[in-house]
Amino acid sequence: MPYQLPIDCLNEIFEHLENDKSTLHSCLLTNRLWFACLPKESLDLLYENEIFIPTPTSESPLFNYPAFCEVFSIANIFEIIDNVLEKSPITSQNLKDRRNYLTGDCLIDLSELYCSSELPSEFFYQLSQKCHNLLSLNLRILTMNFDIELKKLISLQNNLKNLILKVDKGDWADIIPILIKHSNTFTKLHLHGYIELTIPLSFVASFPNLQEIIFSFSYGLFEVFEKLHVTFPKLQILNIPNIPYQCPKPEHIMQFLENNGKNLKKFYIGMEDNNLYLSIAKFCSNLKVLSTIFNFDKLDTLKIIFNSCQYLESIKIWYGEGYLGENENDFIISLENNEENMKIIEKYKNLGIIKFKTVNYDDENDDFSI
């Protein structure tokens, strides 16, 4: 339930607005809680001054609120509907009215859509009638075959730039031909897989203007780097946080870096391999951000990266049991425990020269820099 102002506050507001009939009228129209607080004498006074407050009806609201919607998350919509249903009964008549309202022009400027592939065909059909200006599509895949209306909705977009596909079950092979129609507009591609399945990824080569790529797979094999012998001239961000055992192989990633490392600004890789580290130093000289794993016996290679990547502003090193040795762990911990060290670090942090933070290995989403 929304917060309500106490009576004293409302009285203060009304006093300030007593000579501003237009503003007072607008406030009362848009907030009937205020109107309900007024005594009968005030209501009569409003009526005498030709300020008429309509009683609540099923008519359209004062403002076309959905017309201002730019991001459409189905999960959030379901939550809102549940909250509404708990408080107000829905009849077949007002369901029809609301359906007609939402299928008008209210979503014509929608720019982001979050949904799953198993939603009813009617939903995608209604969106495809008006919604042609999506910039970002976040699609959770739960089916092997995609509804024709979903394909139509994607095909009709004028300037789709960001694509996020998450496979919980099913496959995205059926939708690839539709995605390739937008090959020249895509700049951001996120692919996530949570199932044990061989997932086709070679279609990524069809998107020459990609600036950001994320591949995150918990299980299964993917052949993307074996077949991506292609250059993405605008690629600046490459993120591969979760790598199933030896897939992709380090040499395939190294080949990809040879073709695309020069323009990379940010590189995140959840793999420990010394030859891969050396390829980062060799091919990614313009890196500003690096996140990777280092074992304690590879610190000499880390020095090579520091010497080769002169533009580094941030580096995240995963350490702990199985990574850095006991001495290295003790060294990093001692930085935070030593007051003199922390004063020096704090000085350069405040000057904007460095950033420094140590975090638990399990907290993968917490970026830190030294």
pLDDT tens by residue, 330-363? 655 655 566 776 777 777 777 776 666 665 545 5
pLDDT at residue 292, rounded to an integer:
86
Considering its fold, how many domains does the chain have in total?
A: 1
Ranked by mean pLDDT, which of 73-77, 158-162, 201-205 comes out on top?
Answer: 158-162
By C-alpha distance, which of 168, 171, 215, 150 is closest to 189? 215
Q: What is the mean pLDDT of residues 201-214?
A: 90
In this prediction, residue 95 has a pLDDT band, given cuts at 50, 70 and 90, of: low
DSSP line for 267-294: EEE----HHHHHHHHHH-TT-SEEEEE-
Answer whether 272's CB lies under 8 Å from 302's CB.
no
- 274 versus 195: the higher-pLDDT residue is 274
Domain annotation covers residue 263: no
The whole model's pTM is what? 0.65
Residue 155's pLDDT is 95
Is residue 239 in some structural domain? no
Q: Is residue 24 part of a domain?
A: yes
Check if the beta carbon of residue 230 is closer than 8 Å to that of residue 253. no
18 domain-assigned: yes
Domain residue limits at 35: 7-48
Residues 285, 309: contact at Cβ < 8 Å? Answer: yes
Residue 2 has pLDDT above 50, yes or no: no
Domain annotation covers residue 12:
yes
Q: Which helix (H) or strand (E) holds 195?
A: none
Residue 38 within a domain: yes
Output 192 or 337, whichever has higher pLDDT: 192
Among residues 95, 141, 94, which one has the least CA distance to residue 119?
141
Residue 15 lies in a domain: yes
